[in-house]
Amino acid sequence: MIKLHCFGESGNAYKAALTLQLSGAEWEPVFVDFFNGASRSAEFRALNVMGEVPVMEDGDLILTQSGVIQDYVSSKTGKLGGRSAAERRDVLRWMFFDNHKVSGVAGPLRFNTNFLPADKRNADVNAFMEMRLMSALKIVETQLAETPFLTGDGLTIADLACCGYLYYPEPYGFNRADFPKIDAWLSRIEDTDGYKAPYDLMPGSPADRA
């Protein structure tokens, strides 16, 4: 049984969890109490020196970073990956794009606008990050006008990387209605057998701390 150390609010953990879920792998979530400092503990850093989720344990194998975990799960199950070397490179192209342009911006923007104390929020910084995110999503929108999924006709880990933060309900500038192709794409992923929203798939949510 694969164990995924995660918490519901983490979009990066959600990308790994959703990949496990939709690949049909046998897995279970292990709650990391991030907001009370669990990821900074010595015990957790023994699993991941970076002090971040997700962390995956599959027997004696420990992997960190969502993209690495997604690639491992896809390789292990034979699902959600490219069917040829060229398709695999295209999957990686979109995963790197996500890391740098989508999740790499959406993650801190969503944190800053929802979880950071109000007196520490910088409106100028958040406005800049929102502009960067919207520019990246326009690229995703353009691709999805050509293909139903980012790399063609089938769902891959590239889609599950780029969609990770887009399912969260907290406001951070992204509205599905503003991007009709992305909206339809997210609906296609939601229609995939086994799909669950972040707070249904992983333990931990803002409601738990309210």
- pLDDT of 191 reads 98
Residue 44 sits in a domain of what CATH number? 3.40.30.10
Yes or no: say if 103 and 146 are a contact pair by the CB < 8 Å rule. Answer: no
Question: pLDDT tens for residues 169-206?
Answer: 999 999 999 999 999 999 999 999 999 999 999 999 99
Contacts of 86 (CB under 8 A, 6+ apart): none
pLDDT at 9 over 90: yes
Range of the domain at 29: 2-79+195-209
For the chain, what is the radius of gyration of the CA atoms? Answer: 17
Residue 125 sits in a domain of what CATH number? 1.20.1050.10
Q: Is the dihedral of CA 21, 26, 30, 34 positive or negative?
A: negative
Q: What percent of the chain has pLDDT over 90?
A: 96
Range of lowest pLDDT (18-22, 35-39, 138-142, 162-166): 35-39
127 and 199 housed in the same domain = no
Number of domains the chain contains: 2
